[in-house]
Amino acid sequence: MSDIDYDLFVIGAGSGGVRAARMAAGFGAKVAIAEEQYMGGTCVNVGCVPKKLYVYASEFGKGFSDAREFGWQGEVQRFDWTTLRDNKKTEISRLNAIYRKLLSGVDADVIDGRATIINSNTVAVGDKHYTARKILIATGGWPHVPDFPGSDLAVSSNEIFDLDSFPERIVIVGGGYIAVEFAGIFNGLGARVTQLYRGPLFLRGFDADIRAHASQEIRKSGVDLRFETNVESITRSADGLQLTLTDGETLTADTVLYATGRKPNLEGLGLENVNVDLTATGSIAVDGDFQTSEPGVFALGDCTDTMELTPVALAEGMAFARKQFGAAQPSVDYEFIPTAVFCQPNIGTVGFTEDEARAEFGEVTLYKSVFRPMKHTISGRDEKTFMKLIVDSASDRVVGVHMMGPDAGEIIQGIAIALKAGATKAIFDSTIGIHPTAAEEFVTMREPWTED
């Protein structure tokens, strides 16, 4: 293939695709990247970034209330949805421009439009065809709303940020971190929030103690949390949206948000034109080098069966570029990847859950702590922080750390470094804490937890 247009053609300008394109171009490859929607992908436009901005907004109301007991007096503040929504749009537009500039800065060609794979070396965007030595699929995921009577009346996490008006009554369906986060956001902004989950306890995959503690704290915050409940149908009425539930009850809402999972964004990609195998879950199957079953076609990020986290996609994009166009032969280490749920209070976690640790190591030692944050000793807010250490008894290595409380994500990021380095409980114990902080509790828990 002497007469080709590009060394690498990337489909999807999200976190993983942009990182791979930039790195590959930096190594001297001729690169193009196609995007049909918005620069930066899910994270920048309808994910991490706007969500965190809305979390900040939702926390002010609680802060205003807490401040009174600290001596601050004044009028009750009023929330304006359009101000938040429109300021968010301005910030996202700024970030979109930055992503485009980052790509142009390394001479990567940005092609606006929907890309379709024609064969293992050809991609079509509109009526133009482009040839490439390597094709990288980085199309991410897409919200999945199940089909049921009235499902078209629900919105997904893609639309929820830009509603025309603020929903005074909102029903959120789902039990994953996205559903939990939006329940906290709209509850904090003043909406009447009902969260429905079909299972017995939400946040499946997280440590059981964190899940139980989260359900208590979220209920205390004012969210009407209902487990083992689902929606049978939604209809429109003069009073709003009428939901009929599986338990026979009905609800009325202004907005229904479905946060019931995401699927790989592969529709219309042209995979039928190449020999790309899918996994049982519908993701693109890849090996450790992100190679699909079709030579020359690669995939990474949320469209593959990987952890659906922006930093993971970034790491994969970097590893791909270094492997294919650089001198390095790196791989992504998926062990001890920290994550956070920006509910209120936050959840931060890294390493094994208790059940996973027992299955992996056998005997484990647990350390737990529940306490009221210092701030709330004066504010009077009924909120408790929970912390948990899981230790492999044989090696004394700390293999799991879980927290729900203010700034949990910030605290766990530092803890993750210790776990990656193989820190033992003895090292935690010998570390001097910063006083007074919540984080110091992780280095002062001395007594193993036992069942009463």
Provide the b/e sequence for 44-73 (b: ≥16 CB within 10 Å).
bbbbbbbbebbbebbbebbeeebeeeeeee
Alpha-carbon gap, residue 421 to 414, rounded angstroms: 11
* Backbone region of residue 126 per phi and psi (left: phi > 0; alpha: psi in -120 to 50; beta: other values): left
- The structure tokens listed for 313 are 């996609």
Residue whose C-alpha is closest to residue 301's, from 43, 24, 31: 43
User: For the chain, how many residues are written?
Assistant: 452
Q: Which residues contact 299 (CB under 8 A, 6 or more apart)?
A: 136, 137, 138, 276, 284, 286, 290, 292
| Residue numbers annotated as active site | 435
CA 342-345-348 angle, to 5 degrees, is: 55
